[in-house]
Amino acid sequence: MKIQHKILVCSTCASVWQNNKRVGISGGQKLFKKLTQQSQDWSQSKNFTIESVKCMSACSHSCVVAFAAPGKFTYVFGNLSHDANSISATSAAVLDCAKLYCQKSDGVMLWAERPEPLKKGIIARIPNFVWENS
């Protein structure tokens, strides 16, 4: 059985708020849409699901994505560009990094291996924990 990997995209990142209500489409929603589109012809599409999640609590680092899989480190990346001029390149870099993540048995990706947009934006690398019954 293959390990199912996930790309998680914060849907509230880079939102505009007026009167406590979100206005328009957030940067995170734009990035999620572009990732979904670009992944249609992606070689790793069978190994990944791309999910939109509501608020990853990294608002000062928007836009934010995470890679997660059972038995692997979880990575959280932020400060990803979502503007019209760079969103395609950002999305392609996320997919390239996700492919690298999939190839690593423990998920550990060296800084030098990662695509440029994901070298500077690391927020966290969370170890895989195995919980034992106590």
Element (H, E) at 16: strand 16-18
| Sole residue written with tokens 């190839």 | 103
For residue range 48-88, list pLDDT tens digits in order: 999 999 989 888 888 999 999 999 999 999 999 888 888 99
Helix (H, G, I), strand (E, B) or coil at 40: helix
Let me know the angle formed at the C-alpha of 108 by 43 and 78, rounded to the nearest 5 degrees: 80
Name the percent of the chain lying above pLDDT 90.
58
What is the dotted CATH code of the domain comprising 5-126?
A: 3.40.30.10
First and final C-alpha spacing in the chain: 29
Domain boundaries, the chain: 5-126
Q: Can you tell me the distance from the alpha carbon of 106 to that of 59, in angstroms, rounded to the nearest whole number? A: 28
pLDDT band at 2 (very low <50, low <70, confident <90, very high): low
Averaged pLDDT for residues 103-130: 90
Per-residue model confidence (pLDDT) at position 82: 86
Nearest Cα neighbor of 64 from 82, 48, 49, 47 is 82
Q: Please answer whether residues 14 and 64 qualify as being in contact, where contact means their C-beta atoms are separated by less than 8 angstroms.
A: no
Per-residue model confidence (pLDDT) at position 25: 86
